[in-house]
Amino acid sequence: MKRHISLYTVAARYDLIEHARNRFAMLLVVLYVPTWVTLAYLVIPDKAVPVHLRATGQDLAVPGNELTQITGAINAVTLITGFMMFAATFNGSRFDRRLAMAGYPRFHLVLAKTTSLAITSALLAAYATAVTCTAWTPRRPLLLATALFCAAMTYGALGVIFGSVLHREVEGMFALIMTSVIDVALQNPISSSGANSPLMQLLPSYGTVQTATTAGFSTAAAPAYLAIQLTWFTAAAFLGLLTFRHRTRNALPRHPAATFRNAGAHREPAGPPTGRCAS
């Protein structure tokens, strides 16, 4: 048991240090989150916007700047978490493969990455919620933080997938930005006239948007929509696990001795000696 705890602790500590060394991500956390969330509140008019909460069945008229601040917080949290996990996966893929081939248990590596993702998501969700509460007070701040946490976990898993299958950093950044922007923008009634379309239920952050909007403007709970978001995370995490297993697979032949024998069997026969000819 002590050995398993030690292996897990070492892997988790390494992952957290790797995240902390990502200076660009730290800069985004310090500057991008408060800037985007604050600008969304200050720039967007506070004119009432009709919103249909599928989570509660209510039709509400909410201030447009407060609604945009919620979607802005979701966008910021998902982008940063996805980027951090993408960078860690993309840059550490060779090291992870060496560890796995050297006998380091994959289970401990996966558990450590999940732990670092959960810690990062929790800190970002709490930070974004605190920034939001400086402008106005959502009805249920804890539920808002929980919704942001679930969205961050989902996009963190997507970052692992992108980091495993894409071959350039710019490809991963573009994929994460476009996924998050399209995902969140289509669900904001200010920027999308089809925000109430049933097709929105297919988007990765649908559960979070519904839960976060409910947390901001209603006292009702939305456990079913948190479950939807957790389903998205589970599916993304499963795909991330498959890509991690494929990326850390052993590419060496299982029976190298047999391979060498087969290679020798097909070797061309040696030619006559090139020494002095017999007289």
Q: Average pLDDT, stretch 48-52?
A: 87
Q: Report the alpha-carbon distance of residue 34 to residue 16 in Å, rounded.
A: 23
**Domain ranges across the chain:** 2-250
Residue 273 or 43, more confident: 43
Question: Per residue in 74-111, pLDDT tens?
Answer: 999 999 999 999 998 888 878 888 888 888 888 888 89
Residue 269 or 95, more confident: 95
How many CB atoms lie under 10 A from the CB of residue 52? 14
How many CB atoms lie under 10 A from the CB of residue 263? 9
Confidence check: pLDDT of 54 > 90: no
Reported confidence tier of residue 7, pLDDT bands at 50, 70, 90: confident
Instruction: Tell me, letter by letter, the H, E, C secondary structure of the chain.
Output: CHHHHHHHHHHHHHHHHHHHCCHHHHHHHHHHHHHHHHHHHHHCCCCEEEEEECCCCEEEEEEHHHHHHHHHHHHHHHHHHHHHHHHHHHHCHHHHHHHHHCCCCHHHHHHHHHHHHHHHHHHHHHHHHHHHHCCCCCCCHHHHHHHHHHHHHHHHHHHHHHHHHCCCHHHHHHHHHHHHHHHHHCCCCCCCCCCCCHHHHHCCCHHHHHHHHHHHHCCCCCHHHHHHHHHHHHHHHHHHHHHHHHHCCCCCCCCHHHHHHHHHHCCCCCCCCCCCCCC
pLDDT at 274: 52
pLDDT at 263: 45
Percent of the chain with pLDDT over 70: 89
pLDDT at 153: 96
Q: Report the alpha-carbon distance of residue 187 to residue 52 in Å, rounded.
A: 11
Confidence check: pLDDT of 257 > 50: no
Q: Report the alpha-carbon distance of residue 234 to residue 16 in Å, rounded.
A: 22
Q: Which of 41-55, 125-139, 244-258 holds the top average pLDDT?
A: 125-139
Token pair listed for 84: 């951090």
CB 105 within 8 A of CB 7: yes
CB 226 within 8 A of CB 205: no
Question: Per residue in 65-75, pLDDT tens?
Answer: 999 999 999 99
